[in-house]
Homo-oligomer: A and B are copies of this chain.
Amino acid sequence: MSKPYVLGVDIGGTNTVFGIVDARGQVIASDSIKTRKHSNFDDYVAELHDGVERLLKANDAEDKIYGIGIGAPNANYYTGEIQNPPNLPWGPIIPLAEKVSKAFGGIPVAVTNDANAAALGEMTYGAARGMKDFIMITLGTGVGSGIVVNGQVVYGHDGFAGELGHLVVKRNNGRICGCGRTGCLEAYCSATGVARTAREFLEVRTEPSTLRNLQIEDITSKDVYDAAVAGDKLAKDIFEYTGTILGQAFADMVAFSSPQAIILFGGLAKSGDILMRPLKEAFEKSVMPIFRGKTKIILSELKESDAAVLGASALGWEAKYRYEVPSFDRSVPAVEEA
């Protein structure tokens, strides 16, 4: 293969990580730049290009890049743009694929949001290898999702499908969500959701808990996890509550696309049995009888440090957008006969 590598780029709110990846999912080399250093997007792309060129040179990989895959918040697969990103210094519409392909001399580029990139990474290199129908759920600051149906990421008619963190799990009196509505899954089952549950439980309930030794506003999901692992009853109840809501929501997801597996990724997903036991119990109890026992709930097999770059890189193999140097159109316009 003359072009044996792809470039994976993960644009986060703080860092932009990029790596050279081979067809087996080995990250040959990676580096990063600061995302927010340049308020001008062209300057950012120029610095990204310089950084990548250095990395390619050092690894004897110049002219060996088949395509570039980019994961970024609010990136739209169809248009190649980042649209109205909440955490980036540019916008509102950033022609990401076009600018990057142009900077790299026309190498094909494809972009998608981070959760879809994670799903692609899992399908290409991770726990979903060989699966055609699965759902990737990322449990981080928020709850993200990437849905794969029949071997393809579900983008929807506008490119924004797969917002399962915003299924409404509490119809009445639900928590306010960052999306502007109330009761979303993300407001309960993200890392921040767990911290919110802790504050709620500590206020409403009266029993002792080691969490009461902390400043209530500073409690994190990690604090709750540590307390639960140490045997704190209230902390364990918080995970019971979180897992139950997640499991019930998973039952609705299965009614939609009947996936072979739901794959969990992100910090909270690594909570082990204190989350997974109530989650699986609620899921099996809630899922429609015809689906019972069919959908596995498993953990990502991607190394967390590599996952974002790997996921983005997987998109590089199917990248199609290619910047072409504009050429003068010499064709004679057809004249319709009267």
Q: Could you tell me which A residues sit within 8 Å of B by CB distance?
A: 131-133, 147, 149-150, 152, 154-164, 166-171, 179-181, 248, 251-253, 255-260, 286, 288-291, 294
> Within 8 Å CB of A252, what residues of B?
167-168, 252
Report B-chain residues with C-beta under 8 Å of the C-beta of A171.
169-171, 248
State the 8 A-B residue pairs at the shortest beta-carbon distance, nearest first: A156-B258, A161-B258, A157-B260, A133-B157, A163-B255, A161-B257, A166-B255, A166-B288
In the complex the two chains form, what is the Cα distance from A167 to B288 in whole Å? 9
Query: Which chain B residues lie closer than 8 Å to A162 at the CB level?
Result: 256-258
- In the bound complex, residues from chain B placing their C-beta under 8 Å from that of A133 are 156-157, 161
Question: A48 CB to closest chain B CB, in angstroms?
Answer: 27
Do B251 and A168 touch (CB < 8 A)? yes
CB distance from A296 to the nearest CB of B (A): 10
CA distance A157 to B170 in the complex (A): 29
Q: Is the CB of A164 within 8 A of B132?
A: no
> Which residues of chain B are near A168, meaning CB under 8 Å?
248, 251-252, 286
Q: Chain B residue with minimal CB distance to A289? A: B180
Quote the shortest CB–CB distance from A96 to chain B (angstroms).
18
Are B156's CB and A290's CB within 8 A? Answer: no
17 A-B contacts, Cβ less than 8 Å apart? A149-B149, A150-B152, A160-B258, A161-B257, A161-B258, A163-B256, A163-B290, A163-B291, A164-B255, A164-B256, A168-B286, A170-B171, A171-B171, A171-B248, A179-B289, A181-B286, A256-B257
Which residues of the other chain, B, contact A258 by a CB distance below 8 angstroms?
155-163
Query: Which of A160, A256, A289 counts the most B-chain CB atoms under 10 A from its CB?
Result: A256
Q: How far is the CA of A170 from the CA of B169 in the complex (A)?
A: 10
